Structure 1
Amino acid sequence: MDNQSYFATYTLEQPRDSKSYRHIYFTCFFVLYALILFLNSWLIVVIVLERALHEPMYIFQCNLCINGIYGATGFYPKFLHDLILDSYVISSYMCAFQTFVIYASVMCEYCTLAVMAYDRYVAICKPLDYHTKLNRFACSMLLVFCWIVPVIVNIINVSLSNRLALCKYHIDKLFCDNWSMVKLSCESTVTNNIYGFAVMSFVFVLFISIIVSYIKLAVACKASLECRRKFWQTCVPHLFSLINFSVAMLFDTMYSRYGSSDFPENLRHFLALEIIIVPPLFNPVIYGLKLKEIRMRLLKPFYNIIKISG
């Protein structure tokens, strides 16, 4: 084999004891994927059908759920297919596509959380300007921002990775990601590293802006009991989502940058999958249970069934 090659296919990491337990793995991951699809779709349908929920806060939550389905679909169907066939191989173009989908979803999530923090800041700190600053056009532009920026950033990311000649073809992860691809290269990856640092800096700026928004919110809400009630009711779910997703991103970054075969295998797989499993599964649960307006409408069918049976 040449020292530098462009491989048509790559091999992915296999789950531990996959030959013996692949049917158990398949069942568990199928259930997880089904739950993600069901919970997020249910919340989306409720927000779309209920006119009372056609407000910026709920529209952005709907976008978060759409993105959760989008990102999960970048991983689960391929992984379930691999488990059925017990063959962990992926073509180069599908690897690039999977990388794009998963990490565009990751950045879209962070952009959406930043937009949601801005929405809560205006709603609580500048309530008289809320409908002016977050009118239909402004909401549309913020949603475009949540999707266009991740798409452009990750098109460049994937393009920079695909130009590299590779020395190896085994990706030490259960799915393709940009940094794993870069680590296979025999060429200089300075450009990729600089661009990766720029992207991480952008995400860090988003994180800081979100934290600053919530600090201002907390300070502003101290003076009023009504503001404190609104803060706990609408902002706490956002904070849960932010913490949940930031921890997932930290694990993924640690794994991608510093993970090696010296790590315990179970820990490596957990670090790799945390960003795929936890945010899209827990976001709809957090918003569905914590926000009264959504909770009432989510549970309305069950209340109706109880009334009929009673």
Structure 2
Amino acid sequence: FEFIRLCQFALQSIQEFSYVLNQICNCIILYLICIHKNLHEPMYIFTAALLLNCVLYTTTIYPKFLIDFLSEKQIISYSASCLFQFFMFYTLGGSEFLLLAAMAYDRYVAICKPLQYQIIMRKTTVSISLVIAWLVPGCHMAVLAIASTEAKLCDFKIKGIFCNNAVYTLQCQRSRLITIFGVVTLLDLVILPMLFIVFTYTKIFIVSHQSCKEIRKKAAETCLPHLLVLISACLFYVYDVSIARVELDFPKTVRIIMTLQIVLYHPLFNPFVYGLKMKEISKHLKGLLSQAKFITSCLFILT
């Protein structure tokens, strides 16, 4: 019994540490982008929006997850809490794909049409892209969440640690509106942005391959982080869609591994990729760490 309690305490500590670490890492990069004027460019603004998504994303999952972990019974109200978590989770998930598509377009213009970059990627263009990235997924998911409130439930035990697509498995019969609009949402928020990203990066690859070594290096430095984040997001959404749309019954071990990716790995992946792989952010991050080390040394000497 003591061993079980010790294991629970260790898991709780790991979860709390990962949540705090995730928030700190994302907020540090956000802070650097805000205070440094040379980072007030479309590429870094989209990066900041993506990291803000991560902060909200983990806040949607972690607090309830930690409460459930400390409770003997894991209970959540369907209409209020569960569907709100469902709405926020997929709104932010859809927003991530649209932001990655906007970042891909920004890199396409910068590399393939450098002379027109300032004309095309104006503040208005960036602002419209951000509004679309957050508003369109919200409207899509609002329809699905409202439709789900009217559904009759035949099961009250959800397979998972939070309310994702698995909420559909609780319903006695999925309505035609949810089925059809769910496919439309998947097409609008995931498939079309992915196809657009593939198209833009194909064009970037062709142009950079035909150009000098310096342009190829620039393309690799700016595009690689976006591709890594896209691959990470795609791995989860393929699994997530498979649960509810294809209704595959994954083994418990697979579910745990994928849940760890959602809760621990993916939110921490973004700040590390952008902090280490993007040259300008990495430079400012090193400067911030040097300042922190200097202040720590001064405080140590004074004490």
> CA, structure 1 residues 79+305, in 2 after alignment: closer, same or farther (shift >3 Å)?
closer
Cα distance in 2 for partners of 1:209, 1:238 equals: 13
Cα distance in 2 for partners of 1:71, 1:162 equals: 22
> CA, structure 1 residues 18+253, in 2 after alignment: closer, same or farther (shift >3 Å)?
farther
Shift in Å, 1:307: 6.8
Shift in Å, 1:190: 2.8
Shift in Å, 1:110: 0.5
Shift in Å, 1:218: 0.4
Shift in Å, 1:302: 2.8
Cα distance in 2 for partners of 1:34, 1:156 equals: 33
Shift in Å, 1:105: 1.0
Q: Is 1:70 aligned to 2:44, yes or no?
A: no
Counterpart selection for 2:218 from 196, 218, 230 = 230
TM-score w.r.t. the length of structure 2 is 0.90
User: Residue deviations 1:49-89, cap 9 Å, x none?
Assistant: 01110000000000000000111111000010111223210
Q: Is 1:269 aligned to 2:253, yes or no?
A: no
Shift in Å, 1:97: 0.8
Q: Which residue of 2 aligns with 1:33?
A: 19
Preserved CA contact (<8 Å) 1:71 1:276: no
Shift in Å, 1:184: 1.4
SS in 2 for 1:165: coil
User: Residue deviations 1:206-230, cap 9 Å, x none?
Assistant: 1011011000000011122232121
Cα distance in 2 for partners of 1:247, 1:18 equals: 32
SS in 2 for 1:299: helix
Q: Which residue of 2 aligns with 1:243?
A: 231
Structure 1: state its 5+ residue gaps: 1-16
Preserved CA contact (<8 Å) 1:100 1:158: yes
> CA, structure 1 residues 19+88, in 2 after alignment: closer, same or farther (shift >3 Å)?
farther
Shift in Å, 1:305: 5.6
Preserved CA contact (<8 Å) 2:57 2:88: yes
Q: Which residue of 1 aligns with 2:82?
A: 95
Preserved CA contact (<8 Å) 2:108 2:201: yes
Structure 2: state its 5+ residue gaps: 299-303
Preserved CA contact (<8 Å) 1:123 1:130: yes
Letter in 2 for 1:232: A
Shift in Å, 1:33: 0.8
Identity %: 34
Letter in 1 for 2:26: N
Shift in Å, 1:259: 4.3
Q: Is 1:192 aligned to 2:178, yes or no?
A: yes
Counterpart selection for 2:113 from 97, 107, 126 = 126
Q: Which residue of 2 aligns with 1:176?
A: 163
Preserved CA contact (<8 Å) 1:174 1:269: no
Cα distance in 2 for partners of 1:42, 1:213 equals: 30
User: Residue deviations 1:232-282, cap 9 Å, x none?
Assistant: 11111111111111112112222344343xx43222122244234332211
Cα distance in 1 for partners of 2:177, 2:29 equals: 41
Shift in Å, 1:24: 2.3
Letter in 1 for 2:45: I
Size of the aligned set, in residue pairs, is: 291
Q: Which residue of 2 aligns with 1:13?
A: none
CA RMSD, 1 decimal: 2.0
Letter in 2 for 1:277: L
Higher helix share: 2
Counterpart selection for 2:47 from 61, 79, 84 = 61
Q: Which residue of 2 aligns with 1:3?
A: none
TM-score w.r.t. the length of structure 1 is 0.88
Letter in 1 for 2:211: S
Preserved CA contact (<8 Å) 2:168 2:174: no
> CA, structure 1 residues 161+275, in 2 after alignment: closer, same or farther (shift >3 Å)?
same
Letter in 2 for 1:255: I
Letter in 1 for 2:231: I
Letter in 2 for 1:139: V
Counterpart selection for 1:158 from 137, 145, 158 = 145
Preserved CA contact (<8 Å) 1:108 1:150: yes
Cα distance in 1 for partners of 2:157, 2:4 equals: 17
Cα distance in 1 for partners of 2:216, 2:258 equals: 36
